[in-house]
Structure 1
């Protein structure tokens, strides 16, 4: 850290540095920056200084970071007796201890205030009792319990009103648990806790995916812990909120960045080289020899020097100088992977901005947009429907002969290939002649405006139609179940015989002829001399289907279901 401060004084008279210098030097001190997030850290520090980092801003960040570390150390000493933390478990943050900033835990219809604590292995929530906190409930983040952590809406009596909660769900809890962070304006508290909880969860998933040993696991968790300390320092010193691609948490960033999986793979390969004495090597050795040397667990050693690690891990750093993820005279593979990923982020953000611009509200408006986008497809479908109606016998006959020839000759694959080639040629033509020209916006005629009551009625009608579709689907499935289990033996016999005949057809008749027969039956159904017989056949099939009973269904309440499980 002292080297960084000296470097500031040596850059220029204004005591500022640029992004390249900061990205190259700052990761040398692991507590100050990490290779994966160093560019985002620089952006956060220089958001108001024309992309030049002033010494005063950097000094403010260091002071805030030092304060966060001291607070975390004090919380570690105080929370061991209350939470009974395991060895190596570090308290990262605590919320809800101040009455003006409570944390509410929602389980089902009930809500209760309490204190929320995050460690590098779990979440703890202690409900507020009579003047003290009850024994904290532990929500594990380390083991594979299919945990889900995401933002959620909460409110009184289970109402989904306020977007200020984090949901935790796993196979170890009966129902989802919601932690609400009430505040008058915004949801920055919720976003902060969501980020740090996901960081720990994703760090453990990264560990399980790569089957790391004990030292490698501790190194990964130490990196996550240091990242959360840096995130807290920036948040408390500058009151800034990071976006998806600008987060200061390494594992969250790798999850959102393009090619972030490559960053994690590169990090995994570097962690495979970990060794206790990796930093103690002769600086006069050749570069080829240095590349074969093991790396030191810098994050573990850094936490040990800060006073967090257990006695066993603290002894690892005895006499070892902590050097971060930098290589003098060269760029390591992790830096290269991060730079490649960041270079693609700009295009992703620009594309996402266009997506956000074209999002519209309202069911009617979205339907109007979709109809306009699918106009040509709808027109083709209408033409095919017109041919199938046989209103123009000549056109319908020509279309039938052409499609029959395509099916008989086996030209369907060539038709699909021709469509693909045609689309490719159109795309290349547009790329060649529309180079640099912006796309013309699609003109959409807005539907008539509706007031609140009309919108509610439209929504109710849409929900009713959707419910009717679900009911029809359930009835079909229940009738099929009745046929399978012979609830109506004569109908089951007919279906079984039909299935046997279909099996024989599939075995002895070539597929192209089966497709042709199905196509001819469907396309010629509206022919004048076939229409009456087709209608009668459909009527008989419908009547037969109506005679089939549905399989019975028994609805059980939740309480009865729980009693049966017990």
Structure 2
């Protein structure tokens, strides 16, 4: 195997992708580098020949295995529709469909167009429920949790929702430990959905180009099956082998898909190195268009066509891959913080808010006139900025000041001097006993409950005014709103802002008896507003019946 050996029986990433560009069997040029990373993760990014040979043999086994599966009951597959994965049979683990509080085990079949579920009968499977993934409708599939009596205990299911269906379809893939089966099926279903969305979005109507994309998707799924069999101890990430799922997930993936569509429309995919021709050699081909593909191939020249070998596509893939690595590095720095408990989270947020906490006394001194000169300067500047309508310019000055501070921090290399923030748990230490801590926590819960009640009452009072349940209060509010509307229409809004600023700075100079009386009357008026009664029921249908 001269293509795979270079002074030693292993191959690197560039050679692997180059081989995939010539013969897209073991890899597709669009995601070949991601496939290589997954295959060589245990071997130091070098693909040894025994592993390569095993990978090809597993692909061959997978194709033969898929060709043996029977068509779902009550379904006639289209001429270009092929089974890509089956689960829930006697030789595999169960698949359960949840309908309300009932559960139905059955067989699940995925093709390059649809998803079929056949409920298990006494002797044979019932007629299949067809979920069409190729329709250009609003549809989604996402992970879900299931459990007895509606409790979401086991995160091992997927939920499919579509405007064509009257209810969602919930399918569970039971496992003892992880949820790799669910993740595998979720990736496959999304890949088929993304394939047809890609065809519809880019208006690819040519039969040859459409079948070429189907062929590349089928080969990607076959590679994924083979990799899962080869790497059973540590199953690979499914999206690394699936073109459309991968580039719908990673950054700048939409650019890669655009370049892929352009290269597909420009290229000649009927030649011997295309994905469709490889499937045809494996007796998996689209019989309707096989003659057209052969005619196109015969009209082409005898040179070898390198599929999608365009500089723009390669540049888009490289950029997307580099940005994905940057995001993974950034996410790795946040994983440790997410695993911390409530106490540590409180410590972190308290430490991060210290600068703001230190700034609060300074603002209090300004508003309470403890520093009259500074207060007058801030008041005059605020009034001038508002009157001259310099808010945008002031914000621009603030941004420039922030940039200067950032450049100063970079010049002083603060990130090297303090590359981490050290927080001491002793700052949260308490002299309270266990019982006192429990009582304090209980009082805290009561405080939160009181705040929720106040918020609920306030919203109900506002709703009561809006629907005129309290006529007197509603009339007063409408009169006040009418007067305010007239003032806003006549007087420029900046004068209202200036009045608000003056009120904010002068409200602490001295409290007159008139203001206290006004606040009392306002509170009495607010307390006199009746609220709309609330009744909580278990079943809303009982209310409709009454």
TM-score class, shorter-chain normalisation, is 0.7 to 0.9
SS of the residue 1:437 aligns to:
helix
Name the CA distance, whole Å, in 2 between partners of 1:375 and 1:503.
Answer: 42
Shift of 1:390: 5.4
Counterpart selection for 2:529 from 527, 548, 552: 548
Name the CA distance, whole Å, in 1 between partners of 2:415 and 2:73.
Answer: 66
Counterpart selection for 1:499 from 464, 481, 506: 481
Shift of 1:66: 0.9
Name the CA distance, whole Å, in 1 between partners of 2:29 and 2:543.
Answer: 51
Whether the 8 Å contact between 1:114 and 1:125 is mirrored in structure 2 is: yes
Counterpart selection for 1:528 from 493, 501, 510: 510
Map Cα deviations across residues 151-181 of structure 1 (whole Å, 9 max, x no partner).
Answer: 2322222222223222223334455433222
Map Cα deviations across residues 199-240 of structure 1 (whole Å, 9 max, x no partner).
Answer: 112222222322321524443333222211111111112224
Query: 1:373: which partner in 2?
Result: 352
Shift of 1:356: 1.4
Name the CA distance, whole Å, in 2 between partners of 1:473 and 1:415.
Answer: 35
Query: 1:560: which partner in 2?
Result: 541
Query: 1:226: which partner in 2?
Result: 219
TM-score (norm 2): 0.85
Name the CA distance, whole Å, in 2 between partners of 1:455 and 1:34.
Answer: 61
Name the CA distance, whole Å, in 1 between partners of 2:126 and 2:440.
Answer: 48
Name the CA distance, whole Å, in 2 between partners of 1:448 and 1:146.
Answer: 53
Matched, 1:207 2:199: yes
Query: 1:71: which partner in 2?
Result: 65
Name the CA distance, whole Å, in 1 between partners of 2:415 and 2:219.
Answer: 45
Whether the 8 Å contact between 1:525 and 1:534 is mirrored in structure 2 is: no
Name the CA distance, whole Å, in 2 between partners of 1:129 and 1:453.
Answer: 59
Whether the 8 Å contact between 2:382 and 2:501 is mirrored in structure 1 is: no
TM-score (norm 1): 0.83
Name the CA distance, whole Å, in 1 between partners of 2:61 and 2:510.
Answer: 87
Query: 1:7: which partner in 2?
Result: 3
How many residue pairs get aligned? The number is: 536
Query: 2:20: which partner in 1?
Result: 26
Change (3 A) 1:340 1:476: same
Name the CA distance, whole Å, in 2 between partners of 1:13 and 1:451.
Answer: 71
* C-alpha RMSD over aligned residues: 3.7
Matched, 1:434 2:413: yes
Change (3 A) 1:523 1:41: same
Gaps (5+ residues) in structure 1?
A: 281-295
Q: Which moved more, 1:467-476 or 1:264-273?
A: 467-476
Shift of 1:458: 9.8
SS of the residue 1:7 aligns to:
coil
Matched, 1:160 2:152: yes
Shift of 1:503: 1.7
Name the CA distance, whole Å, in 2 between partners of 1:241 and 1:348.
Answer: 22
Name the CA distance, whole Å, in 2 between partners of 1:451 and 1:201.
Answer: 58
Counterpart selection for 2:491 from 509, 532, 537: 509
Shift of 1:424: 0.6
SS of the residue 1:528 aligns to:
coil
Counterpart selection for 1:187 from 174, 179, 191: 179
